[in-house]
């Protein structure tokens, strides 16, 4: 029998007594103790002494992070706007070329429609389309027809294009009435001095980039994008988008816009209601500016946090060193106690070896058998040969094949898998039961097994006791045959394995009369006699059981025909007729039987097989004398 488990059943780790701090410090020298007290104090003193340096470094770091984030944002913004700008330049060139070829507005409008469709399929740009005022007529790529009072030349996109005289114009963002999105228009005046072409770009991504950058600032300030007229294009607070800070009367917004746009200062401080902030700015394309506004109070909190972290790191470092020393001491004690306990635990084994599976190396830990101990000698690097010699000396011939498979070190890792132990019981050469066991001792970093303990333990008394208990749990105490539970399980196993057979069910006729007339002792003799008849009639591999009371059953595998069944039943009835119980005088014992067959291609359950035999038994009881009824035609013999 081979056993698997996840725990080592035989060797338990020693529980090491708790090492208190007092115990540890008593073992330390005074010099080390003084060092552990003074070092943290020196570390904290140096931090306070260098506060100014930490302040400057932290301030420079905040400034550097702000400038770096502004630069990254400008790159992201350029990446966002570049496709739209490229499209504008390309469309302007193409429309100019149409001017030269004197193409009509209908041709130009079809071109705008095609470009708008292309724009819709571009994942990098989210647009409201392409349109413009060309050759005195409003043309729209989405074929939108404006209201009668719509005057293109009065629109901001047209006026801004005229101001920029052929350069790209970035028009102040607005909220589109149809979609509800914030939209920015890029427009350009064409060579005729009157025609203008435009593209609308949704501002959602610019706002998302701004809010993402604000999160990188760790909530110490704000990130703002404004144009050269002071209008907020994007803001870490979405509610500020669209406000004109230059025209605002509120502070500190007005001061911020004035210093940046009117005075041209790129880095400055602003003060409002006892709150000071540091502003870093960078000029972007299209006349835009990006600002990082950092609160000085929050900045100082960062500095104090950095100081606190430095102190904490110093204290933590001291604690870690102390902890490492404690753990080293504890580990040494564990190893010492483990060795002691391992030797103590090994006393229950006949022999114990540690086997390294990676290099086929083994070490003998203990061995009570002089014969096995003599195998070790100087050869400690041939564990496979050790296994073979142990089997040759210790194992009975009938169990050697199983032990060779069990002790195969090449397949051991696969057989153990994630388990920690496997075991096999075998009969040794002295006809005594032993148990061989492999237990995982070490695993590699990848959880593969590095080494195992191989042990052999004498378990003869345990085995006999266990077999006796198993016998008692499966056997009917009066008759010595299978009890109902074990018998039915064996029949079910035959059925599950696809084995057909004959199932016989019987009970004793007028058994109550026998008990009442002759007493229960005589009734017990009758049951024992019937059980004897069953054992003599059926083969050793057949299943014979007492169901309880005066009911018995038997299952004969491979008996699949009525002719074969009748022969066994006739032999059984002949033996029943030969029963002679002196106290019963001339009274004969009669039984009623039912027989049903389970064939290999049948798919019904054991319960159904039992019901069929039971129906036949009931039929047999309607006739006097011993009788059997087969389920196939319900006819008795």
618 band by pLDDT with thresholds 50, 70 and 90: very high
What is the average pLDDT value for the chain, to the nearest integer?
80
Task: Check whether 23 has a pLDDT greater than 60.
Answer: no
Of 211, 341, 234, nearest to 284 by C-alpha is: 234
399 burial type by CB count under 10 A (0-12 exposed, 13-18 middle, 19+ buried)? buried
Q: How many CA atoms lie within 13 A of 381 on its CB side?
A: 1
- Torsion angle, alpha carbons of 203, 208, 213, 218, to 10: 140
CA 553-554-555 angle, to 5 degrees, is 135
Calculate the alpha carbon distances from 106 to 99, 109, 113, 249, 283 in Å: 12, 5, 11, 49, 41
Least confident of 23-32, 74-83, 288-297: 23-32
532 band by pLDDT with thresholds 50, 70 and 90: very high
Pairwise CA distance, residues 134 & 140, whole Å: 10
Least confident of 91-100, 155-164, 175-184, 546-555: 175-184
Task: Check whether 123 has a pLDDT greater than 60.
Answer: no
The answer to whether residues 334 and 11 touch, using CB atoms and an 8 Å cutoff, is: no
Calculate the alpha carbon distances from 632 to 59, 503, 612 in Å: 99, 13, 10
501 band by pLDDT with thresholds 50, 70 and 90: very high
Whether omega before 76 lies within 30 degrees of 0, making that bond cis, reads: no
Task: Check whether 12 has a pLDDT greater than 50.
Answer: no
Task: Check whether 571 has a pLDDT greater than 80.
Answer: yes
487 band by pLDDT with thresholds 50, 70 and 90: very high
Task: Check whether 373 has a pLDDT greater than 80.
Answer: no
Task: Check whether 218 has a pLDDT greater than 80.
Answer: no
The tokens describing 373, both together, are 């101990």
The listed range with the strongest mean pLDDT (80-89, 276-285, 405-414) is 405-414
Of residues 479 and 24, more confidence is placed in 479
DSSP 397: G
Neighbours of 442 (CB within 10 A): 13
Task: Check whether 567 has a pLDDT greater than 60.
Answer: yes
Of residues 378 and 627, more confidence is placed in 627
In DSSP notation, 131-169 reads: EEEETTEEEETT-----TT--GGGSHHHHHHHHHTTS-E
| CATH superfamily assigned to domain 347-461 | PAS domain (3.30.450.20)
Pairwise CA distance, residues 284 & 286, whole Å: 7
The tokens describing 116, both together, are 């708008």
Pairwise CA distance, residues 196 & 153, whole Å: 9
Of residues 98 and 77, more confidence is placed in 98
Task: Check whether 637 has a pLDDT greater than 50.
Answer: no
Task: Check whether 186 has a pLDDT greater than 70.
Answer: yes
Task: Check whether 308 has a pLDDT greater than 90.
Answer: no
30 burial type by CB count under 10 A (0-12 exposed, 13-18 middle, 19+ buried)? exposed
Q: Measured on CA atoms in the order 37, 40, 43, 48, is the torsion positive or negative?
A: negative
Q: To the nearest whole percent, how much of the chain has pLDDT over 70?
A: 74
CA 515-520-523 angle, to 5 degrees, is 65
Of 463, 437, 438, nearest to 449 by C-alpha is: 438
User: What average pLDDT does this structure show over 525-529?
Assistant: 94
Q: How confident is the model at residue 465, as a pLDDT? A: 81
Of 529, 559, 527, 528, nearest to 543 by C-alpha is: 559
DSSP 509: T
User: What average pLDDT does this structure show over 244-250?
Assistant: 82
Which CATH number applies to 68-202? Answer: 3.30.450.20
Task: Check whether 534 has a pLDDT greater than 90.
Answer: yes
Pairing of strands 127-134, 137-140: antiparallel
Task: Check whether 176 has a pLDDT greater than 70.
Answer: no
Calculate the alpha carbon distances from 347 to 10, 366, 460 in Å: 11, 8, 17
**pLDDT tens digits, 33-67:** 565 666 666 766 666 666 666 666 666 666 666 66
Pairwise CA distance, residues 355 & 442, whole Å: 10
337 band by pLDDT with thresholds 50, 70 and 90: low
Pairwise CA distance, residues 186 & 170, whole Å: 5
In DSSP notation, 435-460 reads: EEEEEEEEE-TTS-EEEEEEEEEE-H
273 band by pLDDT with thresholds 50, 70 and 90: low
Of 506, 508, 529, nearest to 590 by C-alpha is: 508
Q: How confident is the model at residue 320, as a pLDDT? A: 74
The answer to whether residues 357 and 407 touch, using CB atoms and an 8 Å cutoff, is: no
544 band by pLDDT with thresholds 50, 70 and 90: very high
Would 347-461 and 475-630 be classified into the same CATH topology?
no
The answer to whether residues 352 and 454 touch, using CB atoms and an 8 Å cutoff, is: yes
* Alpha helix positions (H), 578-625: 606-620
Looking at 3.40.50.300, 1.10.10.10, 3.40.50.620, 3.30.70.270, the CATH number of the domain 475-630 comes to 3.30.70.270
Pairwise CA distance, residues 94 & 167, whole Å: 16
Pairwise CA distance, residues 534 & 507, whole Å: 12
Of 5, 3, 8, 2, nearest to 403 by C-alpha is: 2
Whether omega before 252 lies within 30 degrees of 0, making that bond cis, reads: yes
User: What average pLDDT does this structure show over 20-42?
Assistant: 59
Q: How confident is the model at residue 248, as a pLDDT? A: 80
Neighbours of 181 (CB within 10 A): 16
Pairing of strands 501-508, 449-458: unpaired
Q: How confident is the model at residue 344, as a pLDDT? A: 64
Of 294, 288, 295, nearest to 76 by C-alpha is: 288
Strands, E assignment, 535-589: 543-548, 551-557
Pairwise CA distance, residues 168 & 417, whole Å: 70
Task: Check whether 8 has a pLDDT greater than 60.
Answer: no
Task: Check whether 181 has a pLDDT greater than 80.
Answer: no
Task: Check whether 338 has a pLDDT greater than 70.
Answer: no
Q: How confident is the model at residue 22, as a pLDDT? A: 58
The answer to whether residues 179 and 43 touch, using CB atoms and an 8 Å cutoff, is: no
Calculate the alpha carbon distances from 557 to 110, 441, 480, 495, 546 in Å: 89, 46, 21, 9, 18
300 band by pLDDT with thresholds 50, 70 and 90: low
Of 426, 447, 445, 446, nearest to 436 by C-alpha is: 426
Sequence ranges of the domains in the chain: 68-202, 347-461, 475-630
Pairwise CA distance, residues 387 & 395, whole Å: 11
Q: How confident is the model at residue 340, as a pLDDT? A: 62
Q: How confident is the model at residue 13, as a pLDDT? A: 41
Pairwise CA distance, residues 593 & 573, whole Å: 10
The tokens describing 199, both together, are 């593209």
User: What average pLDDT does this structure show over 563-579?
Assistant: 94
User: What average pLDDT does this structure show over 278-299?
Assistant: 75
Pairwise CA distance, residues 311 & 197, whole Å: 63
The listed range with the strongest mean pLDDT (60-69, 229-238, 300-309, 627-636) is 229-238
Pairing of strands 591-598, 627-630: parallel
Pairwise CA distance, residues 460 & 558, whole Å: 36
Q: How confident is the model at residue 367, as a pLDDT? A: 82
511 band by pLDDT with thresholds 50, 70 and 90: very high
423 band by pLDDT with thresholds 50, 70 and 90: very high
User: What average pLDDT does this structure show over 317-332?
Assistant: 62
């Amino acid at each position: 029998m081979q056993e698997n488990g996840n725990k080592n059943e035989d060797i338990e780790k020693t529980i090491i007594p708790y090492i208190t701090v007092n115990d540890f410090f008593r073992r330390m020298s005074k010099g080390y103790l003084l060092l552990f007290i003074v070092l943290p104090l020196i570390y904290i003193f140096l931090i306070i002494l260098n506060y100014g340096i930490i302040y400057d470094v932290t301030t420079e770091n905040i400034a550097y992070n702000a400038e770096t984030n502004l630069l990254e944002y400008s790159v992201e913004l350029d990446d966002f706007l570049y496709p739209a700008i490229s499209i504008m330049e390309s469309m302007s060139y193409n429309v100019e070329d149409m001017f030269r070829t004197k193409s009509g507005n209908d041709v130009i409008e079809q071109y705008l429609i095609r470009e708008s469709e292309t724009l819709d399929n571009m994942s990098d740009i989210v647009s409201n389309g392409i349109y413009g005022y060309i050759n005195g007529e409003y043309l729209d790529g989405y074929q939108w027809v404006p209201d009668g009072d719509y005057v293109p030349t009065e629109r901001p996109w047209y006026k801004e294009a005229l101001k920029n005289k052929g350069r790209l114009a970035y028009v102040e963002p607005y909220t589109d009435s149809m979609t509800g999105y914030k939209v920015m228009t890029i427009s350009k005046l064409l060579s005729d001095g009157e025609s203008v072409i435009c593209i609308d770009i949704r501002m959602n991504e610019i706002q998302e980039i701004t809010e993402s950058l604000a999160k990188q600032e760790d909530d110490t300030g704000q990130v703002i994008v404004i144009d050269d007229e002071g209008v907020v294009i994007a803001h870490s607070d979405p509610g500020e988008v669209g406000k004109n800070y230059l025209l605002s009367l509120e502070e500190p917004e007005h001061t911020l816009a004035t210093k940046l746009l009117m005075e041209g200062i790129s880095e400055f401080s602003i003060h409002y209601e006892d709150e000071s902030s540091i502003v870093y700015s960078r000029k972007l394309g299209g006349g835009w500016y990006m600002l990082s506004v950092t609160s000085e109070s929050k900045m100082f909190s960062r500095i104090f946090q950095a100081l606190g972290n430095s102190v904490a790191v110093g204290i933590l470092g001291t604690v870690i060193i102390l902890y490492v020393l404690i753990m080293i001491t504890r580990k040494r004690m564990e190893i010492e106690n483990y060795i002691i306990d391992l030797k103590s635990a090994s006393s229950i084994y006949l022999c114990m070896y540690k086997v390294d599976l990676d290099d086929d190396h083994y070490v003998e830990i203990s061995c009570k058998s002089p014969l096995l101990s003599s195998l070790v000698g100087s050869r400690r690097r041939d564990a496979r040969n050790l296994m073979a010699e142990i089997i040759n000396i210790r194992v009975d011939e009938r169990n050697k094949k199983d032990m060779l498979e069990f002790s195969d070190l090449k397949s051991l890792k696969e057989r153990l898998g994630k388990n920690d132990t496997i075991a096999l019981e075998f009969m040794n050469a002295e006809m005594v039961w032993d148990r061989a066991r492999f237990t995982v001792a070490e695993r590699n970093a990848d959880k593969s097994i590095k080494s195992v303990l191989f042990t052999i333990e004498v378990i003869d008394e345990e085995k006999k006791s266990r077999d006796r208990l198993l016998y008692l749990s499966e056997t009917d105490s009066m008759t010595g045959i299978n009890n109902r539970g074990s018998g039915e399980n064996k029949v079910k196993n035959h059925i599950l394995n696809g084995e057909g057979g004959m199932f016989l069910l019987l009970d004793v006729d007028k058994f109550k009369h026998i008990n009442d007339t002759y007493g229960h002792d005589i009734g017990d003799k009758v049951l024992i006699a019937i059980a004897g008849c069953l054992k003599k009639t059926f083969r050793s591999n057949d299943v014979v059981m007492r169901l309880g009371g005066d009911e018995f059953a038997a299952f004969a595998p491979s008996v699949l025909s009525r002719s074969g069944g009748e022969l066994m039943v006739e032999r059984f009835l002949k033996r029943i007729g030969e029963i002679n119980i002196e106290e019963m005088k001339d009274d004969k014992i009669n039984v009623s039987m039912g027989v049903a067959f389970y064939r290999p291609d049948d798919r019904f359950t054991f319960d159904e097989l039992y019901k069929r035999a039971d129906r036949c038994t009931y039929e047999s009881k309607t006739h006097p004398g011993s009788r059997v009824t087969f389920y196939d035609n319900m006819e008795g013999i």
